[in-house]
Chains A and B, each alone.
Chain A
Amino acid sequence: MRQFLIVAPILIPLAATAVTALLWSRPAAQRFVGLGAAVALFVATMALLAEVISGGMLVGQMGSWPAPFGISLVVDHLAAAMLAITGLMGLTVAVYAMGPGAKERDRAGFQPLFHALLMGVTGAFTTGDLFNLYVWFEVMLIASFGLLVLDRTREQIDGGIRYVMLNLVGTTFFLLAIGLVYGLTGTLNMADLARVAPDIENQGALAAVGVLLLVAFGAKAAVFPLFNWLPASYHTASMPVAAIFAALLTKVGVYAIIRVFTLIFAHDQALFGPMLGIIAMATMVVGVLGAASHYDVRRILSFHIISQIGYMLVGVALMTPLAIAGSVLYVIHHIVVKANLFLVAGAMQQVGGTFALKRLGGLYAARPLLGLAFLIPALSLAGIPPLSGFWGKLVVIRSSLEVEAYVLAFVALAVGLLTLYSMVKIWNEAFWKAKPETAPEPPAAWTMTQRIATFTPIIVLCGVTLTIGLWTEPFAAFSITAAESLLDREAYIAAVLGTNPVQLTEAVP
C-alpha cells in the first residue's frame, strides 16, 4: 500500500495525460477524464499526507534497485505537504478551467498538458535523486511551454519566447551542475550526496557547483536577479493556466532550493546563508516595487509572486528550525492565496471586461461577493491578521529577529506594507471607484454552469485561507515538524540508504 501511495501522485497525472492524449479529437471526453483524474490526485495526495503524518517518511526504490544506484522516491513532511497542496490546486484549477473559454482551451490540448504539468510538479516533489529532479523539471517545463501559448495570440507568443529562452538556459545550467556534482562525488542520490558532501576534499569546487545549482533553481523560482521571465510571460497566459503557474511553478524552484541547501550544502552555511539572505531581500523589494508601478491586475499579481518568493527563502538563509518552519508555512499559505487571486482576477475580467485597472470600476456595487472573495486572499497576501499571511510573516520576521537579522526583518515588514498598497490599489480602482466611461462591455453573459465552475474554486480557496488563518495551530505544528525533519539529515540519509549504506567498491577521488 505504501509502495502504491508513493508513486500514485506521479502515476495518476501520467495516466490522465495518456488517456486525454488518446482522446485527442474528443475534448468533451477529455474534460471528463481530466476532472476525474484531478479528484483522484487530490484524494491520493491527501492519503499520502495522512500516511506521512501518522507513519513518518516514505521511501520507495524504483525498480527495486537499492539506493544509491536506482532512483529513490522520498516523501517527507515537506514533500507530503507540497504534494497535498498540488492535489488541491490541481482539483480547484481543473474545476475553474471548466468556466468560460473551456471549449477553446480543451480543443487546443489543455487537458493533456495540464496533467503533464501536474506530473512534473509531483515528480519534482517526490524524487530523491538530483538527475531525476532535472527530468521532472523538464517535464514540467515542456508542459508549461505548451500551456503558456495555448491560445497562440501575439502576446502569448512573445511572452512564450521570453519564458522559453530563459528557462532553457536555466535548466541547461542545472544539467551542467549535475555533471560537475557527479564528477566531484560519484553519486546523484540526494541522501548519498548529503552523506559524502561534507567529506569531499575539494570544498571550493563543491561550493562553486552549489552556486551553479542556486542559479538554476533561482531561475526557476524567479529570484533576484533572474526573475525577468516571469512578469514578461505570466500575464499573457489564459487565467486557469496563469493560476496554476502562479501556484506551483516557482514553488518547485523554491522547494528545490530548500531541499538541496538544507540537505547537501548545509555544512557550507557560512557561504550560502548570507548569499541567500541578500537574494531574499532583493527579491522581496524588486517584486513589490515592480508591482507598485503597474496598473494591470495580472501584472501586479505576477510581480507579487516574485516578492513573496523572497519570504520563502528566509528559512534557508537563516537555517534555524523556526525560520524553516516559517518558510514551509509561508509556501503553503502563498500557493493557496496566489492561485486564488489569479482565479478572482479571471472572474473580474469576466465581469468587468478587462484587466486594466483604469478601465475597471464599480465591481463592488455590481458583485459584492466578488469583492469579498478578492479581499480575503488580498489582505492575506499583505499579511493582515488574522488571515493566513499574517502567521506566515509573523514566523518569518520573528525567526529573523531571533538571530538578530534586523535588516531582514525590517525589509520583510516594509515589503508587507507595500504589498498592502498594491492590494488597496486594486481594491480602489476595480471595486470601489465608480465605473469609468471608457469601461468596455463585459464579454457575453455566462451560463450558470460556468458561474459555478468559476466561483466554487474561489470560495473553497477562500475557505482554506480562513482555515489556515483562524485555526493556525495544526498548520504551525506541522510546519515545525517538517522543519525539524528537514534539519535532521541523519534520519533522511538512514531512511533512504538504510542504516548500513552500500559503499562503492572503488574509492571516489
Chain B
Amino acid sequence: MPASFILRVAAPLLLWVPLLVSFYLLVRGHNAPGGGFVGGLVAASGLVFFAIARGETAAIAVMRLSPASWCGVGLLLGAGSGVLALFDPASGYLTHRWWFPDLPVKLPLNTAFIFDIGVYLVVIGTITAMFFALVAED
C-alpha cells in the first residue's frame, strides 16, 4: 500500500521532530522525568513513521547501520560505562562517576549518562528491528 502524497512529503518532518524531542528527553532524563528508554521510544517512533511513509529501505538508509548493529553499539556503551569502576578495587561494577566542571552550561558529565545513551540506542535498535520484522510478514 503506497503512502499518501502528503505523508511522503511530511516524512522528514515526522522523522526529525521526534528525533529532536528524543534528544531533549535523553538529556533531561538525567535529573528529571525522561531518559534513555523514553527518548529511544520517541526516536524509534520517528523512524517507524518515516518507514511507513517512505518505505523500509529509505528508513534503513537513514539509520546507516542495521538495527542489530545499533543494539550492539548501545550494549557496548552501556556495558562500557561501568568498566571504569573496575579499576578501583573498592567499588563494584557500574559504580558511576560524576564531574562538575565550572562551565557556563550545565553538562551531564558522568558515566551514568553514557549508560543512558546506550539504553537509548538499544531501544531504537530493538523497536525498529521488531517493526521491520512485522512489516516483512506482508
Contact = CB atoms under 8 A, between A and B. Distances in A.
Instruction: State if A and B touch, Cβ cutoff 8 Å.
Output: yes
A60 B76 contact: no
Contacts of B71: 18, 21
A14 B95 CA distance: 18
B73 A22 contact: yes
Given A14-B79, A24-B66, A3 B72 contact: no
Contact of A63 (B68, B76, B79, B94): B94
Contacts of B89: 1, 3
A373 to B, nearest CB: 36
Contacts of B110: none
Contact of B66 (A1, A17, A25, A64): A25
A14 B92 contact: no
Interface in B83-99: 83, 85-86, 89-96
Contacts of A17: 72, 75
A66 B73 CA distance: 30
A446 interface: no
Given A18-B79, A20-B72, A21-B75, A3 B93 contact: yes
How would you classify the secondary structure of chain A's contact residues: helix, strand, loop or mixed? Answer: helix
Interface residues of B, number: 23
A362 interface: no
B75 A24 contact: no
B76 A18 contact: yes
Nearest to A2: B89
A353 interface: no
Contacts, number: 71
Contact of A15 (B66, B69, B79): B79
B91 A21 contact: no
Contacts of B95: 63-64
Interface string A1-45: 101101100010011011111111100000000000000000000
Interface in A47-74: 60-65, 70
A62 B96 CA distance: 10
A143 to B, nearest CB: 13
Interface in B42-89: 65-66, 68-69, 71-76, 79, 82-83, 85-86, 89
Contacts of B79: 11, 14-15, 18
A14 B94 CA distance: 14
A416 to B, nearest CB: 44
Contacts of A15: 75-76, 79
A22 B86 contact: no
A133 B66 CA distance: 30
Contacts of B73: 18, 22
Given A21-B68, A22-B69, A109-B68, A60 B75 contact: no
Contacts of A65: 92
Given A11-B79, A14-B79, A21 B92 contact: no
Contacts of A112: 68, 72
Interface of B: 65-66, 68-69, 71-76, 79, 82-83, 85-86, 89-96
Interface of A: 1, 3-4, 6-7, 11, 14-15, 17-25, 60-65, 70, 109, 112
